[in-house]
Chain A
Amino acid sequence: MRRPPQIPGGESGRSRVGLVAMLLVLAGLYAFPSFVQSPYALHIMILLFLGTIMGESWNIIGGYTGQYSVGHAAYFGAGAYGTMILLQKWEIAPWKGVFAGIAAALVLSLVIGSICFRLRGPYFVLASIAVAEIVRLTALNLPNVTNGAEGILMSDLPPLSIGGRVVTDFVSKVPYYYIGLTLALFTILVTWLVQHSKLGYCFQAIREDQDAAHSLGINLSLYKNCALGISATLTSLAGSFYAIYIKFIDPTTVLALDLSVQIVLIAIIGGIGTIFGPVVGSLVLVPLAEALRSNIVAQWLINSGLVREDSGLGVFLKENLAHAHVLIYGILVVVVILFMPEGVLGYVRKLSARKKG
C-alpha cells in the first residue's frame, strides 16, 4: 500500500522529477573534480560536504527527536582526537582509527545521554553545553594523551591501499573531495532510512509530545539515547574527516562551543526535521562565511564601482569588513530565524506552495 503524502496535494509526479534531478546532481558532483582543478574550489566543496555531514547528524537528535544538543563538538572532537591520536602515537591508519573515534563518541554519547536526558527543554540544552565544556577542558588538561593546548599536528598520512594496490596518496585535494562527498551521501542515506522506519516515528513522536509518546508505549530513554548514538556516530565521522583533511587539531577548534553552535545553525538555517534541510543550510552558511572571511564583499563593492577604492569608505571596508565577518554572519542568522522560522528550505517550500495556489 502506498503511503499517502504528508501534505494534501499530489506528490508522485513531483517526486519523479525530483529523483531525476537528484541523479543529475549526483553525477555532476562525482564528475566535478575532472572539470574543476582549482584547489580553492575543491576546498569550498569539501567544506560544504563537511557542513552537510555535521548538519545531518545533528538533525537526527535535534530535528527529528527535538532534543537541542548544543554540545556536539564533544562528538566531533572524539572523532578527530580518536583518529589523530591513534595515527600519531601508534601509526594506525585513519580508516581504522575512524572506528576508534566512533567508539569514543558512542561511549561519550551514552554517558552524556544518561545524564542529560533526565532534563527537558532548555535545561537539556544547558546540560549539553556544560558536558561538552567538561570534555574540552579535560582534553586541554590531559597533555599526555591529547597534547593539551598545543594540539596535534599530523606528521605523515600513509597512502590508502586496498589489497596491496595504492588507491591514493592524498597529495591533491581530490581524494578528500570524494571521501567528503561519500560521507555526506552516507549521512543523507542514514537520515532517509531513519525517517522511513519505526525509529523515525518514535523520534518524531518524542519531539512533538514526550508524555503522549510515553503513553503510547515508546521507551523515552531508549529512543533518545538511540537518536543521540546515531547522531554522535555521524558527527564523529565528520570530526575524523576534518582531522585528516586539515591535519591539525586542538581543543579550541574541534571541541569548542563555537563549533557546537555552528553545527546547530546549519540544521536550523536549512530547516530542521527534513532530509535536505542541512544540505541547504550548508549551502547557505559555508559560502557566506567564506565570502565574508576572504573579503569578497568589499572587493565586489569596490570593483562594481559602488564604492571608490581610495575614498574613506573604501579604505574602511577593505580594512575592516573581513574582521566583521562574525558580526555580519550573526545578523544574517538572526534575520533568517526571525523571518524563516522553518528554515530556508521550509520557506522556499511555503513560497512554492503559495504560488501553486
Chain B
Amino acid sequence: MALLEIKNVSKFFGGLAANSDVSFSMDEGMIMGLIGPNGAGKTTLFNCITGYYPPSRGEIVFAGRRMNGLQPDRVCKLGMARTWQKVRPLAKLSVLDNVMVGALCRTNSLSQAQELAMEQIRVVKLDHKTAFPAGGLTIGERKKLEVARVLATQPKLLLLDEVMGGLNPAESEEIIRLILAIKQKGVTQMVIEHDMKAIMRISDRIVVLNSGEKLAEGTPEEIVANPEVVTAYLGSD
C-alpha cells in the first residue's frame, strides 16, 4: 500500500488555482522529486499536505488515514514533517535547544529529548556548534539545523523544501549525501529542488508541476526524455 496518496488535490486562492487536480502516490522508502518552474505550486502542495492550508478539493491520505483538515502539529505527530524553503531557526535558542524542540514531539523528558537531539545533530554534523545560538549560523548550517530538527520528530515521511537553495556546491554535496543517508534509514522523502543534477541523482521518481497542474510523472530518465517537460522549462522553439 502506498504511504502517501494525493488524490485530485486542488487549492484555489480566490480565482487562482495554485494546484489543480494533482494526483500521485508514494511508496514507503522512496525519494520523490517534486520539480517545476517558479510559481508551479510546489510549496502550496507542501502546505496542503502538511496541514497549513486545507485543500479546496481532493484528498490526502497518509498511512491509510485521511489528513484533510488536520492541524500541522497533528500532522507532525502522525509522522509527516517538513522543512521550510525560507529557513526558520528559533534564533535565540541554541542549536541543541532547536533540535530538542523537535525531539520533544515524541517525549516529555528533557534528558531523553537531549539524547535524541544529539543523535540528529551528529547525523547532520553540527556537533561542534551545539551551544551556539541558531541565529548566528551560516545559511548552510541553518539548512542542516532545519534537517536535524525535523529528523528529531522521527518522521516516516520527510518533506524537504529546497534544502539546497543558496548553498555552494560543496555544501549541496553534503546535503545530497545526507538525503541519501536518511533514505538508507528507511525514511520516505519528498524533495522540492531547483538543482536538476541533484534531483536526478537522488530521486526514484519525479513529479513535474506546471501552473499548478501535474505535467508529468516518471523515473528521472523518463522525465529528461519527456518533450513536454523540456518545453515547460526551456520554452517552445
Distance in angstroms between the alpha carbons of A317 and B101 in the assembled complex? 55
Q: Mark A183-215, 1 if CB is under 8 A from B, else 0.
A: 000000000000011100110110011011111
Provide the bound-state CA to CA distance between A214 and B74, in Å.
9
B100 CB within 8 Å of chain A: yes
Q: Are B149 and A216 in contact (CB under 8 A)?
A: yes
How many B residues have CB within 8 A of the partner chain? 37
Chain B nearest CB: distance from A280 CB in Å? 19
Q: Which DSSP category, helix, strand, loop or mixed, fits chain A's interface?
A: loop
Distance of A5 Cα from B94 Cα, bound (Å): 9
Report how far A226 CA is from B45 CA in the complex, Å: 32
Task: From the candidates B73, B77, B153, name the one contacting A220 in the complex (CB within 8 A).
Answer: B73
Residue A340 interfacial (CB < 8 Å)? no
Question: Chain B: interface secondary structure?
Answer: mixed
Which residues on B sit within 8 Å (CB–CB) of A202? 101, 104
A209 near B105: Cβ-Cβ < 8 Å: no
CA distance A215 to B133 in the complex (A): 20
* Distance, CA A201 to CA B105, complexed state (A): 11
B31 on interface, CB distance cutoff 8 Å: no
Q: In the complex, which residues of chain A have a beta carbon less than 8 angstroms from the beta carbon of B96?
A: 3-4
Flag whether A36 is at the interface (Cβ < 8 A): no
CB distance from A200 to the nearest CB of B (A): 9
Contacts of B105 in A (CB 8 A): 216-218
* A contact residues around B100 at 8 Å (CB): 201
**Is there contact, CB below 8 Å, between B101 and A3?**
no
Find out whether the CB atom of B131 lies under 8 angstroms from the CB atom of A212. no
B201 at the A interface (CB under 8 A): no
CB atoms of A218 and B101 under 8 A apart: yes
Decide if B102 is an interface residue (CB 8 Å cutoff). yes
Chain A stretch 214-247: residues in CB contact (< 8 A) with chain B: 214-220
Question: Which chain B residues border A220 with CB–CB below 8 Å?
Answer: 73
Provide a sorted-by-A list of 30 A–B residue pairs whose CB atoms are within 8 angstroms.
A1-B111, A1-B115, A3-B96, A4-B94, A4-B131, A6-B93, A6-B133, A7-B131, A198-B113, A201-B97, A201-B100, A201-B110, A204-B92, A204-B97, A205-B101, A208-B91, A211-B72, A212-B88, A214-B72, A214-B73, A215-B52, A215-B82, A215-B84, A216-B102, A216-B149, A216-B153, A217-B102, A218-B73, A218-B105, A219-B73
* Additional A-B contacts beyond A204-B90, A218-B105 (12; CB < 8 A): A1-B115, A4-B131, A6-B94, A6-B97, A8-B132, A196-B110, A201-B100, A209-B89, A215-B50, A216-B76, A216-B101, A220-B73
